[in-house]
Structure 1
Amino acid sequence: MFPRLHVVTDSLDVVRGVVGHGPVAVQVRVKSSDRAAYELTVAALDVCRRAGDALCLVDDRVGVALAAGADGVHVGAEDLPVAVVRRVLGAGAVVGATCRTPETALKAVADGASYLGVGPAFATVSKAGLPEPFGPEGVAKVVAAVPGTPVVAIGGVTVERVALLDSYGVAAISAIAGDPSGAAAAFQRALA
């Protein structure tokens, strides 16, 4: 089963805290260097493999995902195109794509995306330069456009907001950071 909880992090402590509470996808997002991203991915993969129900994905960096042997990658609108990433990583890899409209969602799925990250669902300070949040209604439009494709809402997602989202799953960043274990358990209960 594809995890409904995605955790975006640059901390191995967060990775250790979020596994063991149910299926989770850990997305390694390191902005400093490929080497730092690679080292964290290798360590996160070890934690995820031992958990048995955790995927390890890499944000943006296809080369790092390949080198580390990650389960896949998540690419944004300014990263390599989904079709290219699918060709490079192969049919068995998880390829996530950021989408903000039904049209971009349909193209990403046609190009080989395994799942879609849709947002910002709510206001967030986790990433600069994002468009205005489009709320649960915007997420629902994308979900309706790609039936059968997992959709993960991202941006300002909290445990309390899970019930507002008509989506397959949620991605958390700052809502997990303070208490990774407790927050992951709470998210898993909210998604059940």
Structure 2
Amino acid sequence: MSTLPQKFYPVVDHAQWVKRLGAAGARFIQLRLKDLPGEELRAQVRQARTYAAEHDVCLVLNDFWQLALDEGISYIHLGQEDLDTADMPAIRKAGLRVGISTHCPEELERALGLTPDYVALGPIWETRLKKMAFGPQGVEKLREWKQRIGTMPLVAIGGITLERAPSCLAAGADCVSAVSAFTQHADPEGQVRAWLEATTGV
């Protein structure tokens, strides 16, 4: 089973974040782009790919699996709704690694049937950044998920802060993901260094 590049996983909304956080030491970053015209979307992906290569970042593209195929992005993250339309045989044939969001046992079973490279569980705590159909899952749900998936990597996401991250890792998460902890912080680069320190050896 594959392992993840790092124990924390920033989710960002612009290619420049890949450059900034990558330069500070982040090695596993998801680019989640919303509501962009086609050419601007493609330009963002290409720029992020360049920055990722410069800083040895494993770049994960959210949702846009066809664009990942076209632009040579080797890792994608899919939500449950994306699975309805994603061409999984084409994705697998191209050798892309895949992460899948889950929120309930039924979604986990669906995800496991596709043998992803990781599954994400969330939101662990309440989050205001994204309207969620599911309430907070809690740290204990991480233990349950980890027991069910075994050696497959588990990513915790949703309301996770620097202070909360160690409890997620202790409960069985292999990696903790956050958005605002990085992109809305006054010192994003400093946050990367702090998360590196907080998650090393946990």
Q: Say whether the fold is shared (TM-score over 0.5).
A: yes
Counterpart of 1:36 in structure 2 is: 40
Q: Contact 1:85/1:95 (CA < 8 Å) preserved in 2?
A: no
Report the equivalent of 1:90. 92
Q: How far apart in 2 are the matches of 1:89 and 1:14?
A: 26
Q: In structure 1, which of residues 167, 186, 189 is the aligned counterpart of residue 194 of structure 2?
A: 186
Structure 1 gap ranges (5+)? none
How much does 1:23 deviate?
A: 5.5
Considering only CA atoms, is the larger Rg found in Structure 1 or Structure 2? Answer: 2
1:60 corresponds in structure 2 to: 63
The reply on whether 1:146 has 2:122 as its aligned counterpart is no
The corresponding residue for 2:179 is 173
- Paired residue for 1:19? 22
Q: Aligned ranges for residues 78-117 of structure 1 at < 5 Å?
A: 78-81=81-84, 84-90=86-92, 92-117=95-120
1:119 to 119, 122, 125: 122
The answer on whether the counterparts of 2:28 and 2:59 sit within 8 Å (CA) in structure 1 is yes
2: CA distance, partners of 1:186 / 1:104: 33
Give the distance between the partners of 2:136 and 2:111, measured in 1 at CA: 21
The 3-state SS of whatever aligns with 2:120 is strand
Q: Quote how far apart the aligned CAs of 1:86 are.
A: 3.5
Q: Helix, strand or coil: the match of 2:155?
A: strand
Q: Which moved more, 1:25-34 or 1:159-168?
A: 25-34
Change in 2 beyond 3 A, CA 1:169/1:49: same
Please give the per-residue CA displacement for 1:29-67, whole angstroms capped at 9, x wherever unaligned. 111134333221111111111222x11111111112112
Deviation at 1:13, TM superposition (A): 2.8
* Identity percentage of aligned residues: 26
TM-score (norm 1): 0.89
Alpha-carbon distance, 1:70 to partner:
0.8
Give the deviation of 1:126 after TM superposition: 1.4
- Offset, 1:136: 0.6
Structure 2 length normalisation: TM-score?
0.85
Gap regions ≥5 residues in structure 2: none
